[in-house]
Amino acid sequence: MKASLRSAVLAAGEILKQADVGDAKRDAALLLANVLGEDVGYLHREPDRILTDNEYQKYQELVARRAAREPLSHLTGHREFWSLDFLVTGDVLDPRPDSETLIEAIVSAKSQGFNPQRVLDLGTGSGCLLLTILSEIPAATGVGIDFSEAALSVARKNAHRLGMETRTEFRRSSWDVDLGEKFDLVVSNPPYIPSADIAELQPEVRDFEPHLALDGGVDGLDCYRAILANIRNILRPGGQLMFEVGFDQAADVGKMMEEAGLSQPEYHKDIAAIERCVSAFLLD
């Protein structure tokens, strides 16, 4: 089969469109660029280049997997978050633009003098929150915990790739972690999908992402309860707690934070104007 880059991308785009993939053309192009080890611009510069049999076959395999709704990041092994490149596998949640809301909130707090030295990330997954925060606050160091050893191994690789090995530690633990240290900043994007809603998620998430990172119990709020019950063991008085929350959970989580002895919360909106991050300080 002799296909040019242009015709291969067009055909793949059609297949992905038929499979209801959201951004079929973009994914078709990104997958081909990935097979060729090039950027997407290369496809535009060399549209008439003919694929080798090997490249063609590899591409068809990836397109078939994407058509079966496997996430793009699992096929390329990467995902960009806050302009940093993260390794991603099926053992971790795919870093999402929603979670950049929490980073934005930290950057804005920093411009007003917030300067945490020690950061704890609960349920770190790929490490994307902790590592991105440390990239914005070069003097800080931190710990990421996760219940999944497989996730921790992805996080450690990301720390290494981003040159932050010596500034980070990754440990296996549940929410009731006690490291004998109280941190200046605790962040978490815990599992928050109500159990009964998991079946309704898009196939990329439902069928390929770890349910351990998604399922927040009957009302989706179990992990917030567990973290807040332990908050005085991990956050110093005056320190800040920042949660990512589900689309309709901000008010409930904010109330739970106040009940747990935190200050009146601030709510931060994502690009879709949804209150996606809730932050507050631990009172003495």
Check the annotation: does 126 bind a ligand.
yes
CB nearer to ligand GLN: pick between 192 and 281: 192
Coil, strand or helix at 5: helix
CA neighbor of 100 nearest in space, from 200, 187, 220: 187
CB nearer to ligand GLN: pick between 28 and 277: 277
Coil, strand or helix at 185: strand
Beta carbon of residue 143, minimum distance to ligand GLN (angstroms, whole number):
19
User: CA torsion sign, 155 to 160 to 162 to 164?
Assistant: positive
Q: What's the token pair of residue 266? A: 């601030």
CB nearer to ligand GLN: pick between 202 and 233: 202
Stretch that binds ligand GLN, among 38-46, 93-101, 109-117, 167-175 (CB under 6 A): 93-101
Q: Which helix H or strand E contains 249, and what residues bound it?
A: none
CB nearer to ligand GLN: pick between 129 and 159: 129
Cβ neighbours for 249, distance < 8 A, ≥ 6 positions apart: 192, 220, 221
Check the annotation: does 123 bind a ligand.
yes
Give me the helix-helix angle, 100-111 and 128-136, nearest 10°.
20
278 binds ligand GLN (CB under 6 A): no
Residue with tokens 């997997």: 65
CB nearer to ligand GLN: pick between 188 and 240: 188
Q: Which helix H or strand E contains 236, and what residues bound it?
A: strand 235-244
Scan residues 97-126 and list those touching ligand GLN (CB under 6 A): 98
CB 59 within 8 A of CB 31: yes
59 binds ligand GLN (CB under 6 A): no
CB nearer to ligand GLN: pick between 60 and 279: 279
Coil, strand or helix at 167: helix
Residue with tokens 């068809």: 60
Scan residues 168-227 and list those touching ligand GLN (CB under 6 A): 189-193, 201, 205, 214
Q: Which residues are annotated as a binding site for S-adenosyl-L-methionine?
A: 123-127, 146, 175, 189
Q: Residues within the annotated binding site for substrate?
A: 189-192
Output the known binding site: 123-127, 146, 175, 189-192
Give me the residues that bind ligand GLN (CB under 6 A), please.
93, 96, 98, 189-193, 201, 205, 214
